[in-house]
Structure 1
């Protein structure tokens, strides 16, 4: 758990503030034009609760965990004015949605 909500968290879509045992940062996602300097990017978590890597798969481990030992979640988040994290997108879409609307 990277964030926790309090009773005063009333903003829709907010996940809460980072818990004391976790470090959260935002990483740039230039292909989607998200930049951490703008307060939006891929959510990365560093914590004792984060796994250390994939068993016998160094390449996948390097893909998921950076040199600062932060796990790249694939979620795109933005800091709100209330210092809570709001998830707004995914770095890679899990599936492609195609429109099948027909005009009658």
Structure 2
């Protein structure tokens, strides 16, 4: 799901960058397509980031924050345990008996 979202976002930004490039005149002093796309991407990114920060500040709940921290600590402890088991099994498989 995440990779599809980033692909769609990239395609939208690519189309918008081409639209911006298409509206400019063919002036040799005009910025390159990459520069234009970078500027438009950074402007979209900063506006999306500002909107996300605004939503986060509006909906900030301490109980949710505590639950997220607890969930992160439990999941990271479980992942480190399973990573250790996987590493041990892999080394046993490669080393042999």
Query: What's the TM-score, normalizing by structure 1?
Result: 0.24
Higher relative contact order (CA 8 A, sep 6+): 1
Query: What's the TM-score, normalizing by structure 2?
Result: 0.26
Please identify which structure carries the higher helix content: 2
